[in-house]
Amino acid sequence: MNSTTIAKLVETYKLPKFRGAQLRKAFFEQQVTKFQDVSTLSLPMRQTLAAEQRVLSFDTEAVFKASDGRAYKALLLLPDGNRIETVLLNPKPGLWSCCISSQVGCGLACTFCATGKLGLSRNLTAEEISDQVLFWRQYICQQRLDARLSNVVYMGMGEPMQNRREVFASLTELMNPDTFGIGARHLSVSTVGLVKPMKEFTDQFPQVNLALSLHAANDTLRERLMPVNKSQPLAALREALQYHADETNRKIFLEYILLSGENDSAEHAEELVRYVRSVDRPALLHTNLIVYNPTDSDHQASARERARAFRDQLEAAGLSVTIRRNLGRDIDAACGQLALKAGETPGYSPSAESSPASL
């Protein structure tokens, strides 16, 4: 459900224009989940819309709850039979963020990412992307979770910049004051580093947060971990980062997964320091260190002591850096773990209150 869909409903069913505003209020303010519950419409119209239309562009197969109650993962079934996953996270009290997908699978084959092993099936539409946010808003309301959805990050399945037309349309919808009304600075888009789309993103959405999945600061290693580096090398990424910094004067986030014995040595840290300093105004670059989350690969997570030493080396060199806390690892909802696993897979246990029937 988005503004375009509501406009089409008004046109298709020859409704007065004010009905569009009523529908927007019902779905985007009151978190109504069914046409039958839009009380401002006549009963016959509610029944007709319920029989012929759908509120969300997918069905809910299951929702999985982490043992600490701070992460949820939803497995969603699209009309064509494809599936995607989306995640709700509670990084601090009173703050909920959702991590949404932009593609079914991913074709970039980063070696540490479970989604990359699925391959790419197709791009999601703008509505399928923004509907994930609407889904979590409804879920928070139904489950009476503490607080509201504050932030949206495009860090789920897929590479957003490979689907930039639909991703950009979804960003516009999420910022639409008549529907989602989310501020640009509460939205973040992550990319492996596709230079041309990154510059288009900078031009069109200068206030939306940009995150670059870096993971190595030398081309040989980065190409081994991320094959896309062959066509999008570090020098080209530096140019895109510089362009974003110059045009927006806003912080850029560098994502760096720590892999034991591969990219976590003192030498690797020094390479990262040199790379960040090679960008004019390096103070705008903030590095998020991520301890590797287990997937079906040969990689191993860096020890906590090594992660701290890596962070300390960056800090000593004057870089802005944090070690990001991983939420949802026990339900394979953490960074790099989205792989469309079925409910019977070990580690998954749909709770009664978050069963597919709850939405």
Cα(179)–Cα(134) distance, rounded to whole angstroms?
10
pLDDT tens sequence for the chain (359 residues): 999 999 999 999 999 999 999 999 999 999 999 999 999 999 999 999 999 999 999 999 999 998 888 899 999 999 999 999 999 998 888 889 999 999 999 999 999 988 888 899 999 999 999 999 999 999 999 998 877 899 999 999 999 999 999 999 999 999 999 999 999 999 999 999 999 999 999 999 999 999 999 999 999 999 999 999 999 999 999 999 999 999 999 999 999 999 999 999 999 999 999 999 999 999 999 999 998 877 777 899 999 999 999 999 999 999 999 998 766 555 554 454 445 554 433 233 333 333 332 33
CATH of domain 56-358: 3.20.20.70
- pLDDT on residue 329: 55
Q: Which residues, in sequence order, are bridge partners of residue 258?
A: 291
> Going edge to edge, which strands form the sheet with 148-154?
59-65, 71-77, 83-92, 95-99, 148-154, 187-191, 209-213, 252-258, 285-291, 320-324
Count of Cβ atoms closer than 10 Å to residue 298 Cβ? 8
* Boundaries of every domain in the chain: 1-55, 56-358
Report the catalytic residues. Answer: 85, 335
- pLDDT on residue 338: 47
Q: Which residues, in sequence order, are bridge partners of residue 191?
A: 212
Task: Please give the CATH topology (third level) of the domain spanning 1-55.
Answer: DNA polymerase; domain 1 (1.10.150)
Cα(268)–Cα(199) distance, rounded to whole angstroms?
27
Phi, psi angle pair for 302, to nearest 5°: -65, 145
